[in-house]
Every structure is written in structure tokens, then in C-alpha cells.
């Protein structure tokens, strides 16, 4: 298998460190760069040099687990089902915490490489202060595995606790990475697409008879909630229409190009799917945690020609669907970690596709504006601060990483600049429609602020 330059370099460095008895190796690689293939290639090199007997992998979701199992099996030319004759197994973090009958004694009796994908899900450096996943990683795996590779595309946690297995440097408590491959480097190497972010705004929002010239001002200076915007039928149709227009351009050169809608709830997802199919004449599938077979739906979509997949908490990180080119972020979850993980779903480059742009569409709420402006920072200083808890004296210390960012922002005309963005009042009895919206009206002109990050 021919590796990308960064993958070969990372494998070589990790292998050398392991040979020199370093036990933990932590990698930051931007979403879509190919972390799993790199880790599988490292495992193969360790097998070939007779340094390990097994490899075990841990993933944050069943979707990522399936993808890792397929990749490791292909690279190692052996099954990864965890049974007799396998090179090892792939498990979810949930399995690690919930399966009381699991026998991990082989970690002590064999030479094992443990690979943790998206390790930021595991929080805490101390067993007593860790979350459930972090506690199991520290107690069950860390002390017994021969070698550990921890990988992440976003090396911080929303709750501001430290990441399990990570090393932090005193006195500033900065995270120490053994290898980093940034989004800027991935774009330079033609590994990832260039993200183009469209932030939708409106220049006349009326909230309780008071007028505001932007969405961020209306939310910041009134009791208008972001969820009201997401449930407004006029705003929703505009955002989806913009996504449809951008996807049509991609499909002109790549007929199977597809788009992802990240919805805020199952009810909203159904409403979005219906609008796509009935009003915008698109093909779409729905995948939520309420489906009986969500993984089968995702796998079928991966190789189909369906234009859109509408998701609730199912296609956010680690899920590899290369044909995704457009994402419309309509979730009420507004954390920088989630923002970047969702963006990563459309950044994975495909061979023989000339257009390297990926379009990400959301509303110009202030946090989304801030996330976009910081996108060039691989570890944004503002989101990696956390209080370091010292059990002895309970002193606080903050973590920080300083980086610089440069961004170009330009305003462009909307698709329908002559139309008003008007809140539609729906009857509460209508199926799959939000409650009546009476707190505000959106009656100004559409506008977009478009950021080309690199």
C-alpha cells in the first residue's frame, strides 16, 4: 500500500519511538487525513518486525468501529473480528465500559498495540477524576498494553477537562503531541479539500417589535433563541436551497456527489427530508438513532447515487463517505469540537476529482462566526483552556496553546436577494411542523458571508 507522505513519516517516527521504549504516542491529524490507514500501517510494521502479537482498536461509535475493522483487515491481510486466527479486534468505548464479561488478560500475557481513535472522548488523567470511558482506558488498557497510539483530529474537550493518555507540559499545562498534521498541511498536500464556509444572515429581524440588523445581534440582545431560527420554515428553505444549488454544481462534474444535513432533532430531520424531496425535488435518506438499522442505511448511502443524507447524531465524526461535498449544519449543538468534526465529513479528498472545494453552510450565529474565524488554528487557544484540579491544594492552572490565524471574509449576494426571509406560522396540529412562531419575524434581505479559509 502506498502511503501519503505524512502517513509514512508518522509511522516511521512512531515505530522508532516504540523501539526506544516510549509507550504512548499521540497523533493530531486533521479530520479526513487518513489516520486509520496510518495506524494500520504502523501495526503491520510492528507485526513484520515481530514486536507485537495482537492489535486492539477502540472507536467512539459503531460506524467508526466498522470502518476501522475494514481498514485494519485490509492492511494486515487478516481478520479483525477478535476471534481465533484474527490479528486483533476493534471495539467501541461503550463496549469497554459495559461488557463486564470481557477478558482483557491477554494484554498482560501478550505484546499488544492499543489504538485509540478520537481519544478526546476519554476525559481525565486521574482515575478518580475521569469520565467513564477515560477511567476504563486508564485502568484496563493503559497499564497493560505494550504500545499505545492515541489519535484525534480535535485535541480538546468541550467540558475543558484534559484528554486521557495525553501529556501536558508544565508550567502552562500545554498539550504535548508526538506528531501533528494540520488542515493547512493537508490542503497543501491535496489530501483534504478547501473548506468554504457560508454563514447565512438577515438584515432585518423583528423580535417583539424591535428591529435587529443581524442574527447575532438579535440573539445577543433579545430573548430570541437559535432553535427558533432552525425551526423557521422560511429560513430552513433558504438554507436548504443554498445547499441544493451548491450540490448541483458539484454533481455537474461528479455525478455521485452528495450532501449532508445535520439536524437538531428527529422531528426536524423528518421535516427537512420532506422539504428536500417534496419542495426541492431532491433524493434523500434519513438516518437517526431511532432507526432499526442506521449502519445499513449509512453503508447503502455511501455507494448510492442519493443526493442527501439527513442525520441526527449519526454522521458527525469518523464516518467516511468520500462523495460528501456539501454540509448544511442545522443542529442546535454549537461547540467548536462538534463544528470541526462535522466539517471534517466533507473534507476527504477523492482521486480524479478536479474541484477541491467543500461547502459548509450554517447560520451567522455568533459562535459559528467565531468558530469559522478560528478554523485555521488547529488547536484554538480559547477552547483548550481548562482548570487543572490538584487534589492536594486545589489550585487552578489553565491550559493554553497560542497560534495565529489569518482569514479572508467577503460578502456575496444571496440566491434570492429579492425575496424576504419571512417566518411562516404553522398550525400546531399540522404533522411534522414546529409550533407557531410568534416571537419574531424575519423580513429583511438574505445575505451570506463567505469565508475561504486557506
In 3D space, the residue among 164, 128, 180, 161 whose CA is nearest the CA of residue 24 turns out to be 164
Angle 419-342-243 (CA atoms, 0-180°, nearest 5)? 25
DSSP alpha helices (H): ranges in 132-174? 132-136
Inter-residue contact 150 to 25 (CB < 8 Å): yes
Q: What percent of the chain has pLDDT over 90?
A: 48
Which tens digits make up the pLDDT trace of 160-218? 788 888 888 777 677 889 999 998 899 889 899 989 999 999 888 888 888 888 899 99
Which one is the CATH code of 187-452: 3.40.190.10, 3.40.50.300, 3.40.50.1110, 3.30.750.24? 3.40.50.300
| Sequence spans of domains, the chain | 5-181, 187-452
**Per-residue pLDDT at 99 exceeds 70:** yes
**Per-residue pLDDT at 319 exceeds 80:** no
Which tens digits make up the pLDDT trace of 393-409? 333 322 222 222 222 23
For residue 380, the model assigns a pLDDT of 58
Strand duo 408-412 + 446-452: pairing? antiparallel
* CATH class as words, domain 5-181: alpha beta
Distance, CA of 147 to CA of 90 (rounded, Å): 16
Q: Maximum CA pair distance of the chain? A: 73
- Give the pLDDT band of residue 449 (cuts 50, 70, 90): low
| Residues 6 or more apart whose Cβ sits within 8 Å of residue 430 | none
Which tens digits make up the pLDDT trace of 269-296? 999 999 999 999 999 999 988 888 888 8
Nine-digit cell string for 446 = 438574505
For residue 285, the model assigns a pLDDT of 95
For residue 280, the model assigns a pLDDT of 97
**Per-residue pLDDT at 438 exceeds 70:** no
In 3D space, the residue among 172, 184, 193, 151 whose CA is nearest the CA of residue 24 turns out to be 151
For residue 137, the model assigns a pLDDT of 86
**Per-residue pLDDT at 4 exceeds 80:** yes
For residue 317, the model assigns a pLDDT of 60
The tally of CA atoms less than 13 A away on the side-chain side of residue 152 is: 26
| Residues 6 or more apart whose Cβ sits within 8 Å of residue 231 | 268, 434, 435, 437
- Give the pLDDT band of residue 79 (cuts 50, 70, 90): very high
**Per-residue pLDDT at 390 exceeds 60:** no
| Same topology between domain 5-181 and domain 187-452 | yes
Mean pLDDT, residues 354-369 taken together: 90
Amino acid at each position: 500500500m502506498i502511503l501519503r507522505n505524512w502517513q509514512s513519516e508518522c509511522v516511521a517516527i512512531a515505530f522508532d519511538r516504540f523501539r526506544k521504549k516510549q509507550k504512548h504516542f499521540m497523533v493530531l491529524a486533521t479530520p479526513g487525513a487518513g489516520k486509520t490507514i496510518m495506524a494500520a500501517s504502523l501495526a503491520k510494521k510492528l507485526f513484520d518486525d515481530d514486536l507485537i502479537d495482537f492489535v486492539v482498536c477502540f472507536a467512539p461509535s459503531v460506524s467508526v468501529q466498522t470502518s476501522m475493522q475494514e481498514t485494519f483487515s485490509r492492511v494486515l491481510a487478516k481478520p479483525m473480528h477478535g476471534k481465533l486466527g484474527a490479528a486483533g479486534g476493534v471495539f467501541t468505548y461503550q463496549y469497554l465500559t459495559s461488557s463486564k464479561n470481557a477478558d482483557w488478560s491477554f494484554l498482560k500475557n501478550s505484546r499488544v498495540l492499543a489504538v485509540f481513535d478520537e481519544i478526546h472522548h476519554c476525559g481525565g488523567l486521574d482515575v478518580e477524576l475521569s469520565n467513564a470511558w477515560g477511567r476504563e482506558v486508564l485502568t484496563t488498557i493503559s497499564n497493560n498494553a505494550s504500545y499505545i497510539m492515541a489519535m484525534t483530529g480535535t485535541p480538546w474537550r468541550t467540558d475543558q477537562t484534559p484528554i486521557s493518555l495525553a501529556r501536558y507540559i508544565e508550567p502552562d499545562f500545554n498539550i504535548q503531541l508526538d506528531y501533528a498534521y494540520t488542515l493547512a498541511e493537508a490542503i497543501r498536500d491535496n489530501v483534504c479539500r478547501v473548506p468554504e464556509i457560508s454563514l447565512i444572515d438577515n438584515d432585518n429581524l423583528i423580535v417583539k417589535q424591535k428591529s435587529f440588523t443581524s442574527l447575532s445581534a438579535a440573539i445577543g440582545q433579545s430573548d430570541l433563541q437559535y432553535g427558533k431560527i432552525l425551526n423557521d420554515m422560511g429560513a430552513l428553505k433558504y438554507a436548504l436551497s443554498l445547499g441544493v444549488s451548491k450540490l448541483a454544481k458539484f454533481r455537474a462534474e461528479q455525478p455521485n456527489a452528495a450532501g449532508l444535513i445535520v439536524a437538531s432533532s428527529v422531528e426536524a430531520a423528518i421535516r427537512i427530508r420532506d422539504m428536500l424531496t417534496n419542495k426541492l425535488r431532491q433524493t434523500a435518506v434519513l438516518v437517526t438513532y431511532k432507526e432499526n438499522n442506521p449502519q445499513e442505511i449509512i453503508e447503502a448511502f455511501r455507494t448510492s447515487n442519493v443526493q442527501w443524507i439527513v442525520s441526527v447524531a449519526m454522521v458527525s465524526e469518523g464516518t467516511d463517505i468520500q462523495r460528501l461535498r456539501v454540509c448544511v449544519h442545522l443542529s442546535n449543538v454549537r461547540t467548536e469540537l462538534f463544528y470541526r468534526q462535522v466539517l471534517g465529513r466533507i473534507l476527504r479528498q477523492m482521486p480524479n476529482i478536479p474541484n477541491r472545494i467543500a461547502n459548509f453552510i450554517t447560520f451567522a450565529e455568533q459562535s459559528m462566526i467565531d468558530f469559522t474565524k478560528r478554523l485555521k488554528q488547529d488547536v484554538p487557544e480559547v477552547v483548550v483552556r481548562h482548570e487543572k484540579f490538584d487534589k492536594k491544594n486545589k489550585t487552578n492552572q489553565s491550559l493554553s496553546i497560542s497560534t495565529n490565524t489569518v482569514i479572508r471574509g467577503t460578502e456575496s449576494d444571496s440566491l434570492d436577494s429579492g425575496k424576504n426571509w419571512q417566518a411562516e406560522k404553522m398550525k400546531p396540529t399540522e404533522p411534522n411542523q414546529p409550533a407557531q412562531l410568534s416571537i419574531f419575524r424575519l423580513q429583511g434581505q438574505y445575505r451570506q458571508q463567505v469565508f475561504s479559509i486557506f
